[in-house]
Structure 1
Amino acid sequence: MPDHSFPVDHPDDEKELLLDWLRFLRGAVVRKASVGNQNAHWRPEERLLSLIGIVNHLTHVEWRWIDGGFLGVGVERDEAEFQPGEELTIDAAIGAYQERWLMTDTLVRSTPLDNSCQLEGQGDVSLRWVLLHLINETARHGGHADAVRELLDGTTGE
């Protein structure tokens, strides 16, 4: 499993710096979501997303942007990704997220940051823009995971 420590490891390499931030944020989400299956599916008053829903959504976000945007694979957003059924375990969801981020990181390391892709409704965007978007999306849902986890069992902090 990748190291999720902070600070960043590559302050002078833009691509690696962006990946370091994304790695750190992914790790924070995984740490927050590392609860039993029943707790992973819990939603406060049936609001917000469950921890497993957050992990599953972030997996799909990276898939849509990387495979859909840069590799040209046909992808669609499915609302079911936000509320996966009980058949998806938290271990399987985290494993799929970790596999996905390895694929994302591999593509990023082999593609210039100025290369662009086009996604419906987004226009032409660079890989740099996509990485910043993934960092933003992961950070926002990391905060979301913090709130759900605190409401679930009182756990706060990283």
Structure 2
Amino acid sequence: MTDNRTDPDPVADERTTLAGFLDYHRETLALKCEGLTDEQLRLRAVPPSGMSLLGLVRHLTEVERGWFGRRVGGRDLPPLYFSEPDNPDGDFDDLDSTDVATVFATWRAACAESRDIVAASSLDATAQRRDGTDASVRWIMLHMLEEYARHNGHADFLRERIDGATGE
């Protein structure tokens, strides 16, 4: 794995710091998936878990689109990989015939769209959460950092299980 991540600026303003850490975590997920075959990206964790690196990328695509695209951006973006209530874990399941390159391109496009939406939004702007309460764009960015950090921990274990590679 070649680590080309960009460290966030330690003296930047709030928006730049939040965006920098979010991009750092996005790059970390890409790093954890780098150099693996399609089959390795589909490998499941330990039964009964259905988690895989490819499933994590699909899940985080949905999360990007949900929080930034639908909630902050107000866009009509139906889920790509799951449906409720019929297939709520479709982002982690249904990987056998999935085109890996398309999954990564879709995730990268979702991240780029999220960056554009955030750049056009005030950190104090609000969006409605599933429970009907409001959350600021600032809160959503911090929530997304938590989401990526948690799943990057999962990605660490998955990658180590696949080929022994470890790292930040």
Q: Same fold (TM over 0.5)?
A: yes
Farther-moved stretch of structure 1 (70-79 vs 103-112): 70-79
Residue aligning to 1:5: 5
2:157 is matched with which residue? Answer: 147
Could you tell me how far apart the structure 1 residues matched to 2:77 and 2:90 are?
A: 18
Give 1:115's aligned residue: 125
Residue of structure 2 in register with 1:49 after alignment: 51
1: distance between equivalents of 2:151 and 2:52?
Answer: 11
**Structure 1 moving runs of 4+ over 3 Å:** 74-78
Note the C-alpha offset of 1:11: 2.9
Q: CA RMSD in A?
A: 2.0
Q: Which runs of 5+ in 2 are unaligned?
A: 83-87
Instruction: Label 1:123 to 1:74 Cα distance change in 2 as closer, same or farther (>3 A).
Output: farther
How do 1:11-22 and structure 2 match up within 5 A? 11-22=11-22
Distance in 2 (CA, whole Å) between partners of 1:91 and 1:74 is 21
Q: What residue number does 1:69 align with?
A: 71
TM-score when normalising by structure 1: 0.89
Deviation at 1:86, TM superposition (A): 2.2
Q: Contact 2:50–2:92 at 8 Å: present in 1 too?
A: no
Q: Which residue of 1 aligns with 2:39?
A: 38
> What is the identity, as a one-letter code, of the residue corresponding to 1:133?
H
CA distance in 1, matches of 2:13, 2:4: 18
Q: Against the structure 1 CA distance between its residues 104 and 74, is the aligned structure 2 distance closer, same or farther, given a 3 Å change threshold?
A: closer
